[in-house]
Structure 1
Amino acid sequence: MAESREWTYDGTQGKLAARTWSGPDQPTHVVVIAHGYGEHIGRYERLAGALVQNGAVVYAVDHAGHGKSEGEPVVVRDFEDIVSDLHLLDETARRVHPDLPVVLLGHSMGGLIAARYAQRYGHTLAALILSSPVIGRWDAVSQLLALDEIPDVPLDVTTLSRDPAVGQTYAADPLVWHGPFKRTTLEALQRGLETIARGPSVGDLPLMWIHGEDDQLVPIDGSRPGIEHLRGSRFAERTYPQARHELFNELNADDVLRDVTEFIHAQVTTR
């Protein structure tokens, strides 16, 4: 059973709420998680528990403007700052566990953050996992930016998972952002996509890409060009028929978790 501890640290835009999950045994590696847009690290208990059971100690942070962290709600002016905040978290993990390899896992918008992190700091990582990542082409950004006013349309929670309970819990979560996109954030997302597209591949850093084939929030065909640009010599791909956006909350989540933990185990034991 994973035990969690909440703590804070100073980020680029104020106090950030972080969390560490650990088990009773000595960990063999660190996993850092970057969460998605509008949500928070509290939604990753199931994933963290599976990672801890696989030998990890897990670190995550509510990005600025998300969850319990300071900042204007869901406003990101520059994703380079969010990457820098995540690097501070990584440095903390390494001070506490100086001899352990570090794996980075990013979901959705967190996939964009993790991809850019790997371009900046990939030489320090043991592996990179991108779950339903916002990289390559995400048409929602350009479509919304073309409008004079961003519509205040609630997220269709049925696009998260085939499990209705996931959408119901999301809709009732007070730490989840239920309002419209902010234009500043959309502009930052567009720049972030362009920055990654101009940046390097991850080279020989092991990269795993997982994606639901029925993901309507971040369609798989849009992410694929970004993955093709980013991938290097050590690459694994897993796509899941009928699965939607939140693979770790899907009906086949046990299969997804097994694929991810097996990939991590293979990377940290062959270093």
Structure 2
Amino acid sequence: MKHQEFFLKKYHKQIFAQSWSPDRPKAVILLVHGFGEHSTRYADFVVPTLVENEYAIFTYDNIGHGKSTGKRGDCESYEQLMAILNDAYDEVRERFVDLPVFLYGHSLGGNLVINYTLRIEPGVKGTIASSPYLRLAFKPPKWKMSIGKLFYKIAPSITLSAGLEVNHLTRDKAEVKKYENDPLVHDNVSPMYSFPIMEAGEWAISNADHLKTPMFVAHGTGDKVTSHKASEEFANGSPKATIRLFDGGYHEMHNDFHKQDFMDALITWMNKQL
């Protein structure tokens, strides 16, 4: 397995990226991580599982995350996130010439790959969204939303604690401990990294019927972070979307007790697209 680390060539900020590849890949997956985390969290299980199945992986740390530059938990705009994803896709096409491409995003990353697929129509073989952040699984307090909207108007880059309950990520306590001890994980979030993403999630649900690319949506019914009902609503809005619900599964399905079943379902779906 060949591993490389580098920075995206085209983007004006330092966006850390890395890739893993088997000797003879049959396709490449552009993986987009979730909010507050980073791409290397997928290196222990997701990456080797996919590489063993002859898939190359290309991934990056989003702006304000991991080893990339930027204020932790802040971005310039939703358009900036789309631009970075687009540059990553261009780099994939350069590095893996003639290979079919899949997009795979988790949580925030799921929001991004769904919107990128709908808005850009990049010509990928398929898109995978796991626990996509289309809508929260809970309603934030009204006072918190009111203050957040005020800051969005007057100080959109101010960062506060996201208040994530880490025990809601996975039922596997060992994985929770790893998350808590990871120095690259953060809990900061700005209004600019919040409200435009919420709006993009609702836009995606409303425009699901415009989807032209095969899409696999996976969500755990026990997710307390993002709404599996929103994922169902999106998938039911398009004949191109397939949804798989994992009974009782928490937010990080690739780190939860059913992680092998999740990966098997993902790989089976990709193999069918090929």
Q: TM-score, normalised by structure 1?
A: 0.88
Q: What is the one-letter code of the residue matched to 2:263?
A: L
Deviates more, 1:92-101 or 1:249-258: 92-101
In structure 2, C-alpha distance between the alignment counterparts of 1:153 and 1:136, rounded to whole Å: 15
CA contact (8 A) 2:136 2:226 kept: no
In structure 1, C-alpha distance between the alignment counterparts of 2:91 and 2:119, rounded to whole Å: 17
Gap change, CA 1:105 and 1:54, over 3 Å in 2: same
In structure 1, C-alpha distance between the alignment counterparts of 2:224 and 2:139, rounded to whole Å: 11
Please say if 1:156 is aligned against 2:165: yes
Q: Which aligned pairs between 1:36-55 and structure 2 lie closer than 5 A? A: 36-45=34-43, 46-55=45-54
Question: 1:62-109: CA deviations, max 9, x gaps?
Answer: 011111101111113322221221111111111122211100011001
Deviation at 1:4, TM superposition (A): 2.2
- Equivalent pairs counted in the alignment come to 263
CA contact (8 A) 1:118 1:202 kept: no
Q: Which aligned pairs between 1:20-39 and structure 2 lie closer than 5 A? A: 20-23=19-22, 25-39=23-37
Please say if 1:207 is aligned against 2:219: no
- What secondary structure sits across from 2:194 in the alignment? helix
Q: TM-score, normalised by structure 2?
A: 0.87
Gap change, CA 1:228 and 1:175, over 3 Å in 2: same
- What secondary structure sits across from 2:219 in the alignment? strand
In structure 2, C-alpha distance between the alignment counterparts of 1:126 and 1:15, rounded to whole Å: 28
Q: Which aligned pairs between 1:118-267 and structure 2 lie closer than 5 A? A: 118-136=117-135, 140=139, 143=142, 144-147=144-147, 152=161, 154-179=163-188, 181-197=189-205, 199=207, 201=209, 203-229=211-237, 231=238, 233-267=239-273
CA contact (8 A) 2:160 2:190 kept: no
Identity of aligned residues (%): 25
Q: Any unmatched runs of 5+ in structure 2?
A: 152-158
Deviates more, 1:120-129 or 1:108-117: 120-129
CA contact (8 A) 2:32 2:104 kept: yes
Gap change, CA 1:178 and 1:123, over 3 Å in 2: closer
Gap change, CA 1:123 and 1:175, over 3 Å in 2: closer
CA contact (8 A) 1:136 1:197 kept: no
- What secondary structure sits across from 1:20 in the alignment? strand
> CA-atom RMSD, angstroms?
2.3
In structure 2, C-alpha distance between the alignment counterparts of 1:185 and 1:248, rounded to whole Å: 24
